[in-house]
Amino acid sequence: MNTEKTIEALSYLSAPRGGISMAQNGADMAAKVRDTIYRATIMLDDQRWDDWLNLCHDDFHYAIKSFSPEINKDMTYLQGKRKDIANLIRLLPKHNTDHSPLRRHTSVYTVDLADDGRSATAVSSFVVYQNLLDGINSHIDSGESRLFLVGKYYDTFSVEDDGPKFLKREVRIDERRLDKGSHWPI
Amino acid sequence: MVAKTHEQWLANPPLASGEWIDSRIYSDQGIFEEELDKIFKHTWIPVCHESELAKPYDFRTTSIAREPIIVTRGPDNVVRAFLNVCPHRGMLIERRPSGSFMEAQPSGNPKRMTCMFHAWQFDMKGNCVYISREKEGFQDRLTKEDVGLRRLRCEVKFGGFVWVNLDDNPVASLEDWAADAFGALRKTLDAEPLEVFHYHKAIVSTNYKLWHDTNCEFYHDFMHYHNRVTGFNDAYFARKNEAFNHGHIQVGTFEVNYDQYEGFESRAGLSFPHLPPNQWYMVDLFPGMNFNLRGSALRCDIVTPIGPNKVMIEFRGLGLKKDTPEERETRINHHNSIWGPFGRNLHEDLIGVTGQGSTTLPGSESRRVLHGRHENQTIHDENGMRHYYEEWSRWMNRMASDPSKPFTAERHVEVAAAE
Ligand code: FES
Ligand SMILES: [Fe+2]
């Protein structure tokens, strides 16, 4: 797995550059926000859950939501504070889970910095593929990728001295058909 | 005992007949078609909840046994069901899953169901109220009176669910069909209006009966870490598995210790009306519907069989209509933690039945699937499934243990074995 390389490649995006103006500062911070979203994608893909949580603020809140035209309701499919998600992650080995890894393709669309420079919001789109390992019959299905989820990340960051931290992530998925579903954060 | 030869593997197990089924009833296309005709077109199916069509002129579409259905709420507040089929040339009248007829449609007026194809219009009682260029085309040979929608038996009952029966003369009224099975929960479900807050569906490669089995048998709690740590105690093992007329069952309650699972909380503060804290009731209705009440949240599963090896399961979560936003959020969290698409148990259940689906593909060798446990009709007894399959055999006139044979009542061993 080439994760380390990928992270190195990404981190140049946010490397400090000299000759700092206000605009330059903002551009740097926007790049750091983007970088953090992409790092999160890689960590989630690699199931490095603790590393992912380390990108998050102590007050982090996570939610997966979807709107159902069937029942005409905005729905929450999963939500929790950082400690809830940490519990969920710690207990994963106790549960029986589909082994097929999920692969996220994220594109950061917008990054907006607050005027005081202490927070930021970002909107990204994602698709998640399920790379079948178990499948229905792994003899037939393993190795195939199937589209699993389509949606957007609505992220809020707290901008600390050491860079942006996820304060809130709202995962908005288009699906209400979720078949086997998943035990993992998206 | 050692591993088996082919002949030994196919031999009947040393259990009484009626304590296993032949897997062809999960895999055979002919049997599947027969099930739609003989069972699903004649039984009461809860197709949605009345809160999904809360206002006059709201509608909801669904289907039973491939027949498209539309449920509407009339200006008189009465919920009615019709085939969602235009009597003109068979167009689907409404294509969306839900909405309101208060809005005009591109080819029709407000307050009407309009078939977009040639603009015939129907009122909320299913009467045809407009045929475009009626006289010009049909003179007096066919009039609006001749072409109303096909109305279906429809009742709102047992906690506000909308029940439809495609049979105009069902074997039992809805009350007689399910009142006994809902018995212990009825006061709770009817205490005040409920509201759906959760909907999602799974389409998985397995037979619908295997999903229903999973909802009927609790022996598989070994698969759920959550249920092992919050459940396995004397009160849990004493839960009764009770059989009712028409193939339904109810699994009695006990007090779940949610706080034994790290990060989970007691649900005592938000119990459904008339229930002690943290109770867990389960009602399973023939031919494949499940009502599951865990203290603060109600779940309902409705199966729509698509093929012998394919089923759609619709999952709903319900709370009380009067919930404050905070209460509702708590109920939703409780519901999702176990039953949501990202919850702990549902994923495991769905992996379980797709695994069974993989071994019962159409054309696969016929095998025995056992349900022969006897534990005094308590939680890990499999009497619920036996009861279901006896009912199934009766409706199909086929023995579940050998579908090539006509139904004969099993000689019941329940009591003897339970001692
Ligand atoms: S098919 Fe419906 S109006 Fe012609
Ligand atoms: Fe289960």
Task: Spell out which residues of chain A touch residue B52, defining contact as CB-CB under 8 Å.
Answer: 70-72
B120 close to ligand 1 (CB < 6 Angstrom): yes
pLDDT, tens only, A159-168: 998 899 999 9
- What does the pLDDT look like over A115-172, one tens digit per residue? 999 999 999 999 999 999 998 889 999 999 999 999 999 999 999 988 999 999 999 9
Q: Give the nearest partner residue to A181 out of B97, B261, B347, using CB atoms.
A: B347
What CATH fold (topology level) applies to the domain A4-12+19-173? Nuclear Transport Factor 2; Chain: A, (3.10.450)
Question: Taking a C-beta distance cutoff of 8 angstroms, is the pair B347, A98 a contact?
Answer: yes
- In this prediction, residues A30-50 reach a mean pLDDT of 98
Work out the number of other CB atoms within 10 angstroms of the CB of residue B66: 11
Q: From CA B346, how far away is CA B334, in angstroms rounded?
A: 13
Contact A178 B204 (CB under 8 A): no
B148 to chain A, closest Cα gap in Å:
26
Ligand 1, closest atom to CA B93?
2
HSE-up of B193 (CA within 13 Å, CB side)?
Answer: 11
Give contacts of B202 with chain A, Cβ < 8 Å.
177-181
> Would strands B151-157 and B128-130 be described as parallel, antiparallel, or unpaired?
unpaired
Question: B274 with B187: CB under 8 angstroms?
Answer: yes
- As a whole number of angstroms, the longest Cα–Cα distance in chain B is 81
pLDDT over 90 at A175, yes or no: yes
Contacts of A184 in chain B (CB under 8 A): 342
pLDDT value at residue A21: 72
Compute the distance between CA of residue B62 and CA of residue B412 in angstroms, rounded to an integer.
38
Question: Which residues, at least 6 apart from B409, have a Cβ–Cβ distance to it below 8 Å?
Answer: B390
**Nearest chain B CA: its distance from A3 CA (Å):** 26
Question: What's the CA gap between A159 and B50, in Å, rounded?
Answer: 47
3-state helix, strand, coil in chain B (%, to 5): 30, 25, 40
Atom index in ligand 1 nearest the CA of residue B90 equals 1
Interface test with B, best of A75, A87, A92, A149 (most B CBs within 10 A): A75
Q: How far apart are the CA of B66 and the centre of ligand 2, in A?
A: 28
Q: Report the C-alpha gap between B88 and A126 in whole angstroms.
A: 44
| pLDDT for the residue numbered B410 | 65
Ligand lying closest to the C-alpha of residue B94? 1
Q: How far is the CA of B252 from the centre of ligand 1 (A)?
A: 50
Helical spans, DSSP H, in B217-324: 225-231, 234-237
Q: Which two tokens stand for residue B246?
A: 């028409």
How far is ligand 1, taken at its centre, from the CA of residue B85, in Å? 9
Task: Report whether A62 contacts A53 (CB < 8 A).
Answer: no
Using CA coordinates, name the residue in chain B closest to A140.
B358
Does B117 contact ligand 1 (Cβ within 6 A)? Answer: yes
8 Å CB contact between A40 and A52: yes
Amino acid at B295: G
Nearest chain B CA: its distance from A75 CA (Å): 6
pLDDT surpassing 90 at residue A3: no
Extents of the domains making up chain A: 4-12+19-173
CB contact under 8 A, A77 and B340: yes
CA B374 to chain centre: 26
Coil, helix or strand for B357? helix
User: Which residue is closest in CA terms to ligand 1's atom 4?
Assistant: B118
**Phi/psi of residue A173, nearest 5 degrees:** -105, 150
Q: How confident is the model at residue A18 (pLDDT cuts 50, 70, 90)?
A: very low
The 3-state DSSP class for residue B326 equals helix
Contact A95 B348 (CB under 8 A): yes
**Please, what is the angle between helix B208-216 and helix B344-359, to 10°?**
130
> In terms of Cα–Cα distance, which of B7, B18, B15, B9 is closest to B402?
B18
Dist. CA B166 → ligand 2 center (Å): 30
For residue B336, what is the enclosing H or E element? helix B325-339
pLDDT digits (tens, 9 = 90+) for A46-58: 999 999 999 999 9
Check: CB of residue A101 under 8 Å from CB of residue A78.
Answer: no
pLDDT of A15 higher than 50 = no
B126-156 burial code (b ≥16 CB/10 A, e <16)? bebeebeeeeeeeeeeeebeebbbeebbbbb
Pairing of strands A56-68, A163-173: parallel
**Ligand positioned closest to the Cα atom of B130:** 1
Of A88, A92, A101, which Cα lies nearest the Cα of A135? A101
Complete domains list, chain B, with CATH? 45-154 (2.102.10.10), 173-396 (3.90.380.10)
Assembly ipTM? 0.95
- Chain B residue at shortest CA distance from A82: B263
Mean pLDDT taken over chain A:
91
Q: How many angstroms is it from B170 CA to the middle of ligand 1?
A: 30
B382, B217 contact by CB (below 8 A): yes
| CA dist list (Å): A9 to A104, A130, B380 | 18, 25, 55
Q: Does A79 touch chain B (CB under 8 A)?
A: yes
Q: Which residues of chain B have pLDDT under 70?
A: 1, 410-419
CB spacing of A180 vs B344 below 8 angstroms: no
What is the C-alpha separation between B57 and B254, in angstroms, rounded? 42
Size of interface A-B (CB pairs under 8 A): 114
Per the CB < 8 A criterion, the answer to whether B177 and B44 are in contact is yes
Judged by CB atoms closer than 8 Å, whether chains meet at A177 and B200 is answered as: yes
Written as one letter, the residue type at B374 is H
Is B203 in contact with A68 (Cβ distance < 8 A)? Answer: no
Residues of chain A in contact with residue B347, where contact means CB-CB under 8 angstroms, are 95-98, 180-183
Q: Can you read off the two tokens belonging to residue B250?
A: 């109810």
Residue B358 phi/psi, 5-degree rounding, is: -65, -25
SS3 A96: coil
What are the start-end ranges of the H helices in chain A?
A: 3-11, 22-45, 49-54, 82-90, 138-141
Residue A1 confidence (pLDDT) above 50: no
Question: How far away is chain A from the Cα of B201, in angstroms, using its nearest Cα?
Answer: 5
> Cα distance from A81 to chain B (closest Cα, Å)?
11
The answer, yes or no, to whether residue A2 has pLDDT greater than 80, is no
With vertex at residue B46, the alpha carbon angle to CA B43 and CA B51, rounded to the nearest 5 degrees, is 160
Contacts of B339 (CB under 8 A, 6+ apart): B292, B297, B299, B315, B317, B345, B346
Best interface-test mutation with B: which of A72, A73, A186 has the largest number of B CBs within 10 A?
A72
